[in-house]
Amino acid sequence: MSIGSTFQYREYLFSVPTHLPLNALRVFEAAARHLSFRQAAEELNVTPAAVSQQIKSLEDLLDVKLFHRLHRGLALTEAGQAGLDPLRDGFAQLQEGVRLLRGAEDRSGLNVWMAPSFASRWLLPRLDSFIEAHPHIELWINASEELIDSESSRLDFNEELMLAEGIDVGVRFGRGHYPGCRVDKLMQADVTPVCSPRLLARTDKPLDKPEDLAHHVLLHDGTPYEGRPGWDSWFDAAGVTGVDTQRGVHFNSLQLALAAASDGQGVALSIRQLAEDDIEAGLLVMPFDEVVETERSYYIISREDTANKPPVVAFREWALDCVT
């Protein structure tokens, strides 16, 4: 066969009708690779006679001879040699396509939104257990203040907002009313002062009762979200008066306030659940028994139409398990 006819064969081979049997082509590729019907049969787990029949059927369909049958084996014809490499490439691409299809089904993306304080103080210390349990779920954690309700710019967290922002799951500090959404209460939020054990051990400035806070630096979390715990409401609940609740150091994040507290710079007011890992580690202590429950809780929120998607269910069940 001439070079021109080789190119014509290549063009013909890959422009044949879609009913061309892929099984026969796969048999040809194996037989051409081994130059043996017997070895091809062993690889494909069929009989040599079945391989021979498939090759004959393919040759009849293409009207071209693919192998020279020799006394001691096989040799590819010029047409067979011309078609072998493109077929190998084609089958490799088919295998990769199937792998990607399976992978796309196995990998599931999950966009989870929450406040930065919750992400850093509660989620991250536990996240490895979710990844270990659900390695196929590709997580996108959006720890942004952009969607936090503030006094100046309130955004109603509802189905429309979740859809517009592409949020699959939200963890929300609020009252639990989110129209068009499935809402699961994760945990009640309560508020307590926390400080370094070193501060508690000082004898020059005791910290035995809430009134003693008048002689210590108050550390404030100034994150602008609705329902944020404040020193004034905590002192009111504790029945303490005469303390300037605005003095001290003001931070724009709970993370900074708790870092200053663990460094012995003062006493921070925190949602207890966000400080409990540092408390368990001995970095922070609760100087008083007074813990004030807020009117708000943490909720897991998902849209009603996607609440039963496997990745959403997996995250919801994992989070709920973490607090039981």
Hey, how many other C-beta atoms are within 10 angstroms of the C-beta on 314?
18
Q: Domains in the chain and their CATH numbers?
A: 3-106 (1.10.10.10), 108-185+305-322 (3.40.190.10), 189-296 (3.40.190.10)
What's the burial of 81, exposed, middle or buried (CB within 10 Å: 0-12/13-18/19+)? middle
Dihedrals phi, psi of 102, to nearest 5 degrees: -65, -40
Distance of CA 183 to the CA centre of its chain: 20
pLDDT of residue 18: 46
pTM: 0.64
Torsion of CA 85, 87, 91, 92, to 10 degrees: 20
pLDDT of residue 148: 54
Q: How far apart are CA 75 and CA 157, in angstroms?
A: 71
Dihedrals phi, psi of 80, to nearest 5 degrees: -65, -40
Q: How far apart are CA 217 and CA 208, in angstroms?
A: 15
Query: Residues 41-47: what's their mean pLDDT?
Result: 88
Structural tokens at position 37: 């019907």
pLDDT of residue 183: 95
Q: How far apart are CA 152 and CA 189, in angstroms?
A: 24
Under the banding of pLDDT at 50, 70 and 90, the label for residue 19 is: low
What residues are paired with 268 via a beta bridge? 194, 219
Identity at 43, one-letter amino acid code: E
Under the banding of pLDDT at 50, 70 and 90, the label for residue 103 is: low
Strands ordered across the beta sheet of 108-114: 137-143, 108-114, 169-174, 292-303, 181-194, 267-271, 218-221, 249-251
pLDDT in tens, 132-176: 999 999 999 998 766 555 444 345 677 888 888 888 999 988 888
Torsion of CA 34, 36, 40, 45, to 10 degrees: -150
C-alpha distances in angstroms, 49 versus 39, 53, 59, 61? 12, 6, 15, 18
